[in-house]
Amino acid sequence: MDTFQMLKEFLVKLVRDPETITPEATLKTLGIDSLDMVDMMVEIEEKLKIRFKDEELMGLHTVKDAVLLIDSKTRKESEGEE
């Protein structure tokens, strides 16, 4: 499963219309507030055994931003960094 699909599974729990979940969708237009985002990212951290910094989460504006952050963290983990 690719990162977007995994993230979409988490977002579906929070969004009324799953069809609006696209890489270009902003978290704000999806109705994702900061608490929702933190809760979702904590679940992702636990699932993937990675950690996000608060500053990284504050920089997320679109679904694609979140996908890129997750991909960068999982790549670092697989390469033995961080």
pLDDT for 6 beyond 80: yes
What is the structure's pLDDT at 34? 85
Count CA within 13 A, CB hemisphere, residue 4: 10
Q: Any long-range contacts for 36-40 (C-beta under 8 Å, 24+ apart)?
A: 40/10, 40/11, 40/14
Give the model confidence (pLDDT) of 8-26 as tens digits. Answer: 999 999 998 999 999 999 9
What is the structure's pLDDT at 10? 93
Q: Full-prediction pTM beyond 0.95? A: no
Give the model confidence (pLDDT) of 39-82 as tens digits. Answer: 999 999 999 999 999 999 989 999 999 999 999 998 866 666 55
CB 65 within 8 A of CB 59: yes
Domains, the chain, in order of start with CATH, read 3-78 (1.10.1200.10)
Which of 6, 19, 20, 17 has the alpha carbon at shortest distance from 66? 6
